[in-house]
Amino acid sequence: MEVKIGVQNAPREIVIESSQTADEVESAVAKALEGSSKLFSLTDEHGRRILVPAERLAYVEIGEQAVRKVGFGAL
């Protein structure tokens, strides 16, 4: 699923494809914002970890689960 992360005082947003579910991403955001974790952490599809300081989060946009199409078909 595609996740867009807005960071304060940064001109561009961070866009990653994550294998985590929407509920897992939402709980990670909630933990970071409530103060139990000082970092917002996600793992992308390639196993790389993205860490953003919780006080710098501007927004997190959680996209829909991507369905990969297989085969040839008319568009």
Q: What is the per-residue pLDDT across 1-55, written as a single tens digit (0 to 9) for each?
A: 899 999 999 999 999 998 889 999 999 999 998 987 889 999 999 999 999 999 9
Helix (H) or strand (E) holding 70: none
The pLDDT value given to residue 71:
67
The pLDDT value given to residue 51:
93
| 68 has a pLDDT exceeding 70 | no
Rounded distance between C-alpha atoms, residue 4 and residue 13, angstroms: 6
- Name the maximum alpha-carbon separation found in the chain: 50
pTM of the model: 0.77
Rounded distance between C-alpha atoms, residue 9 and residue 42, angstroms: 20
